[in-house]
Amino acid sequence: MPSIRIPTPLRPYTNGQSEVAINGGTIGAALADLTAQHPALKPHLYTEGGELRAFVNVFLNDEDVRHLQGAETAVNDTDRLMIVPSIAGGNTSAPLQKVDHTALRVNQACIIGLSIVAFIFNAPWLAALVAVVMAYGTARQQPGFRALYSGFLKPRGWVQPDVIPDNPEPHIFAQGFGAVVLAIGAAALLAGVSTLGWGLVWLVVALAALNLFGGFCAGCAVYYWLNRLKAPGFAKAPPPGTFPGMRPKA
Amino acid sequence: MNLVIPLDAWRLLEAHLEAAYPNEGAGLLLGHANGQGMQIELVLPLENRWQGEEQYHRFVLRPQDFVFGEAEAEKRGLQLLGCFHSHPDHPAEPSEFDRDAAWPNFTYIITTVAQGRVTRSRSWRLKEDRSGYTEEKLLISEG
């Protein structure tokens, strides 16, 4: 009669036995006999759908049966079977997505350039227009000036994509945050409160420039702080090894 | 159940997990157990064998590592009591993925490594019905 070796964590379900004698002409039949003898093993070997769990390995004479014929693999009386766990785990963070940082930088350059033009020509409507484009992009979950990048600059090879693993959500949040500040600034200008208005416009310019030239996204940092405080809707943590708000290493 | 681990073994565990950062590090825990609690005697640092680019949030030990751990335990008159792994820049709490892959009657020490430094460790054990975990008290003993 073949026997099967039980790993330490499962021995409490086999009365402490490390080897159990089993009947069955195939791996499937032998495992069915084992769980019939010791029913408490079943939830730990099989999923609720009846599949062998992914981290349960069955070895026949030191060979993984997944590399043989699986449950159909024939078992002889002299064979030695082994159940061996793969120990696995990990945290819940979703895999990082790919973010094209050139698209972000083109967006920042547009925000900076148009806002400065608005200041020079004293054109609050232009600042308001930039805020609208940023708000539109935020609603579409993309950089507001993305069309300029993907429809014009990139096809001509004037800028090169810079795709790195990163979370897109904090960048979208940062843009939305900038849109709100710029909209308040534009509203203040239209209401005649020009010091406050231009102050807010320059704040957006300064933070966009810090991101463009310094690689630090202040809005992303705020997003990650909210994540650390477990604020609802701020699910993503900074990429591993990255200071919150700093550009991840490629 | 309490889990007691001597300081020198604990330092080995911490050093292994910090060296693995920003990826997850892992290993096995060997020791003695009785009704009152567990005493870890030996920490076995092992290589994260997760295939592909996702080692920053996944780990797996090979079946051969488990067989090695059991053999080492038998050779030294110890038991294979559990494993440890790190959650880089994440809380020291079991994830849904952890629970799906977890073994019963096995201790899981989870350690947060934040920006390359160990900040917090907690110890967990899968409930019999696999519905969740109970936390174990983790104690580090001097000398």
Cβ neighbours of B129 in A, within 8 Å: 43
State the Cα–Cα distance between residues A81 and A11, nearest whole angstrom.
15
Inter-chain contact A95–B94, Cβ cutoff 8 Å?
A: no
Nearest to A76 by CA among A183, A1, A162, A179: A1
Percent of chain B scoring above 70 in pLDDT: 98
Domain spanning A3-85: which superfamily? Beta-grasp domain (3.10.20.30)
pLDDT in tens, B25-67: 999 999 999 878 999 999 999 988 887 667 778 888 889 999 9
Alpha carbon A199 to its chain's center: 36
pLDDT at residue A220 in the model:
96
State the Cα–Cα distance between residues B124 and B4, nearest whole angstrom.
13
**Which of B103, B109, B119, B130 is the mutation pick for testing A, counting most A CBs within 10 A?**
B103
Cβ neighbours of B112 in A, within 8 Å: none
State the Cα–Cα distance between residues A82 and A59, nearest whole angstrom.
5
Cβ neighbours of A56 in B, within 8 Å: none
pLDDT in tens, B15-36: 999 998 888 899 999 999 987 8
Contacts with A, B 81-140, CB within 8 Å: 83, 85, 87-91, 94-98, 101-106, 108, 110, 115-116, 129-130
pLDDT at residue A106 in the model:
96
User: Quick check: B47 and B64 in contact, CB under 8 A?
Assistant: no
ipTM of the complex: 0.89
Q: Identify the band that residue B71 occupies on the pLDDT scale cut at 50, 70 and 90.
A: very high
Mean pLDDT over residues A71-84, rounded? 91
The structural domains of chain A, with segments of one domain joined by +, span: 3-85, 97-228
User: Could you name the CATH architecture of B2-141?
Assistant: 3-Layer(aba) Sandwich (3.40)
